[in-house]
A = this chain, B = another copy of it.
Amino acid sequence: MYLEQINNPADVKKLDKSQLEVLASEMRSALLAKLSKRGGHFGPNLGMVEATIALHYVFNSPEDKIVFDVSHQSYPHKMLTGRKDAFLKEEHYGDVSGYTNPKESEHDFFTVGHTSTSVSLACGLAKARDLKGEKGNVIAVIGDGSLSGGEALEGLDFAPELKSNFIVLVNDNDMSIAENHGGLYSNLKLLRDTDGKAECNLFKAFGLDYVFVKDGNDIQALIEAFQKVKDINHPVAVHIYTQKGKGYALAENNKETWHYCMPFDLATGKPHSAPAGETFASITAEYLLTKMKENKNLAAITAGTPAAFGFTEENRKKAGNQFVDVGIAEETAVALSSGMAAGGAKPVWGVFSSFIQRTFDQLSQDLCINNNPAVILNFWASIYAMSDVTHLGIYDIPLVSNIPNMVYMAPVTKEEYISMLDWSTNQKEHPVAIRVPVQVISDGKEVKKDWGALNKYEVTQKGEKAAVIALGNFYGLGFQAAKAIEAKTGVKPTIINPYYITGVDEELLESLKASHKVVITLEDGILDGGFGEKISRFYGASDMKVLNYGLKKEFLDRFNVEEVLKKNRLTPELIAQDAAALM
């Protein structure tokens, strides 16, 4: 096996044409074996095998620097840069992350996981090289839907200003996670259809030189193209047409499903564990599709991640023109929502917590200053969601909740969520964001609350001495903590569901002073700039003791949730211990 002998890119250069083909096939087998057992980004990596071999055959990493966008297509790169064991040996599968990581290898330059960053980051490496008077190629790999993101387009526009060596490798696989959206994809199609010869050329319009490779899975054609641009003295885009999911027929034919996979059976493609039943994604899509029939002005918006709120291909068809995918372009998703709300429609943007952070300015400037009644559903905002450092869902509370006019809500149960959805999509006074819970809890209780009376918390258990204010996903933990306090002290604490992240229920908090000595807050996110600190500030001048529980401000990576919770004293017992000391 050739792959077993590849310890660094120099070893790739020792192989001849036919050996490189065999290497590609070995890499694809290794990918299929690992991904079927462990899951991961599937289609993007299968498509990039040949281009990665050709890159390392032609260029000299790490003197030549390759920067991967999103970097979820960097598995082949990892195989060729000293990390093959993590793909060949099951006991080493866990050795590498799913993204590039400078701590793993000198061939990785950035830890990234969000799209559309590679061109601008690589421009920085090129500029540093030029200032230092050094040589070497800088190559930004981008594709797989990332081109539509604002930062990528800014980068393409800026790159020509470098006026020196800079190579943008555009991996055009005709797909985003779902199908591509945006006019630029018609230009890519025009370029493909004309063998790259069409005069109307997005890359040239941005001032880049341009090279086209018709078959982006043909190693020899790629090698020739890369040799042509190696050591070029100005910015150039190399547009290669690859097949997403190449080498696994099911993935070739159903690219959206196979963008990412959970462990599955190689022969049938069936996942080993059946997908969970009802999720907040399916609940949301079902709710919106029903309401869309009654209200033709209600529309669901996505920025390239329709699965976030259950908009499968089938559901997108049902929604018709009431579903809008702006492509990977979160800023436009917010601005579009604000504009639609201003125009009298009712937009609902579904987004993952990690990506809402791409829109601070749009939330503030386009949406909240204008106070337009758009609705944002924020999914996977929890320590229980993804565990890659680039995709954490624990930073959105400081981001969203400190913007004036925004109403940011945290339901606990399915019933509360539906009730908030109902209210937010029918009111016309506020921009509303809902922090969608991660686990479906349904208590069947009818929710009669008037959500328009903002910042009114609810006492769910009347008690004394201690009050537990437990937000959203951590309501259950708060409930358990209250029980532990009662067990430890014999005193039944008050339990409060605050519902609102953006404001403080001053009347209720004031009333607690009479019969409580300590208030405990819990939130499923970092403490800094978060919900609990607002409660601490409120009680600052009083005798009330306040204990804020949440997560430390830090970048966590591939962690064990229970360990992280324990480290942050987020267990019923530890909370009870702290509380009892103050009661």
A157 within 8 A of B: yes
Please, how many angstroms separate the alpha-carbon atoms of A390 and B370 in the complex? 10
Q: Distance (Å) between the CB of A101 and the closest chain B CB?
A: 10
CB-CB contacts below 8 Å: A226-279 with B: none
A361 to B518 alpha-carbon distance, docked (Å): 36
Q: Kindly state the separation between the CA atoms of A530 and B366 in the bound complex, as whole angstroms.
A: 23
Q: How far is the CB of A117 from chain B (nearest CB, A)?
A: 5
Cβ-defined contact, B533 with A541, below 8 A: no
Q: Is A158 an interface residue (CB 8 A)?
A: yes
What residues on B are CB-neighbors of A151 within 8 Å? 150, 331-332, 335, 361-362
* Nearest B residue to A374, CB-CB: B124
A187 nearest CB neighbor, chain B only: B205
Q: How far is the CA of A570 from the CA of B360 in the complex (A)?
A: 28
Q: How many residues of A contact B (CB 8 A)?
A: 119
A296 to B540, CA, bound (A): 50
Complex: A321 Cα to B362 Cα, angstroms: 32
Partner of A555, one of B127, B208, B324, B369: B369
Name the one of B109, B127, B528 contacting A336, with C-beta atoms under 8 angstroms. Answer: B127
Q: Is the C-beta of A327 less than 8 angstroms from some C-beta in chain B? A: yes
**15 A-B residue pairings within 8 Å (CB atoms):** A117-B365, A121-B339, A121-B342, A123-B339, A124-B338, A124-B347, A127-B299, A182-B206, A199-B200, A357-B360, A369-B555, A529-B533, A533-B537, A537-B548, A542-B545
Q: Which B residues are in CB contact (< 8 Å) with A120?
A: 331-332, 335-336, 339, 366
One digit per residue, 1 when the CB lies within 8 angstroms of any chain B CB and 0 when it does not, for chain A 128-145 equals 111111000000000000
**Which of A31-39, A397-405, A417-425, A507-515 lies at the interface?**
A397-405
The CA-CA distance from A327 to B202 in the complex, in Å, is 19
Given the interface pairs A124-B336, A205-B202, A402-B553, the reply to whether A183 lies near B155 with Cβ below 8 Å is no
CA distance A113 to B159 in the complex (A): 27
Q: Which residue on chain B has the smallest CB distance to residue A339?
A: B124
Partner of A370, one of B102, B154, B181, B205: B102
* Residues of B contacting A402 in the complex (Cβ-Cβ under 8 angstroms): 395, 398-399, 526, 528-529, 553
Interface residues of A in 327-380 (CB under 8 A from B): 327, 329, 331-332, 335-345, 347, 357-358, 360-362, 364-366, 368-370
Are A117 and B366 in contact, with the CB atoms below 8 A?
Answer: yes
Instruction: Say whether A345 contacts B131, CB under 8 Å.
Output: yes
State whether the Cβ of A291 lies closer than 8 Å to any Cβ in chain B.
Answer: no
Check A404 against B366 for contact (C-beta < 8 Å): no
Those 10 A-B pairs whose CB atoms lie nearest each other, nearest first: A124-B339, A150-B150, A183-B207, A128-B343, A120-B335, A199-B199, A529-B529, A160-B183, A153-B153, A402-B529
* Interchain nearest-CB distance for A208 vs B (Å): 7
Quick one: given A344-B132, A360-B358, are A541 and B547 in contact (CB under 8 Å)?
A: yes
- Interface membership of A582, Cβ < 8 A: yes
Report the bound CA distance from A539 to B536 in whole Å: 9
Output the least CB separation between A302 and chain B (Å).
Answer: 12
| Seed contacts A201-B205, A360-B360, A540-B547; 4 additional CB < 8 Å A-B pairs | A113-B365, A127-B299, A358-B360, A369-B389
Q: How far is the CB of A152 from chain B (nearest CB, A)?
A: 8
B529, A401: Cβ atoms under 8 Å?
yes
For A395, the chain B residues whose CB sits under 8 A away are 364, 402-403
In the complex, per-residue mask of A195-213: 1 if CB is within 8 Å of any chain B CB, else 0: 0000111101111100000
Which residues from chain B contact A187 at a C-beta distance below 8 Å?
A: 205-207
Residue in contact with A124 in the complex, picked from B125, B297, B340, CB distance below 8 Å: B340
Tell me, in angstroms, the Cα distance from A369 to B365 when the chains sit together: 26
**Docked complex Cα distance between A3 and B206 (Å):** 41
Per-residue B-contact encoding for A524-565, CB less than 8 Å = 1, 0 else: 001111101110110111100111100001110000000000
Docked complex: A92-128 residues within 8 A CB-CB of B: 102, 109-114, 117, 120-128
How far in angstroms is the closest Cβ of chain B from A470? 16
A555 and B406 alpha carbons, distance in the complex (Å): 11
A292 CB to closest chain B CB, in angstroms? 10
How far is B184's CA from A422's CA once the two chains are assembled, in angstroms? 44
Min CB gap A23→B, angstroms = 30
Q: Does A215 contact B (CB under 8 A)?
A: no
Q: What is the CA–CA distance of A450 and B406 in the complex, to the nearest angstrom?
A: 40
Assess the B155–A335 pair: CB atoms within 8 A: yes
Distance in Å from the Cβ of A141 to the closest Cβ of chain B?
Answer: 14
Q: Name the interface residues of A158-188: CB closer than 8 Å to any CB of B.
A: 158-161, 181-184, 186-187
A149 at the interface (CB under 8 A from B): yes
Is there contact, CB below 8 Å, between B582 and A321?
A: no
A122 to B149 Cα, complex, angstroms = 18
Let me know if A322 is at the binding interface, CB within 8 A. Answer: yes
**A183–B160 CA distance with the chains assembled, in angstroms:** 6
The reply to whether the CB of A156 lies closer than 8 angstroms to some CB of chain B is: yes
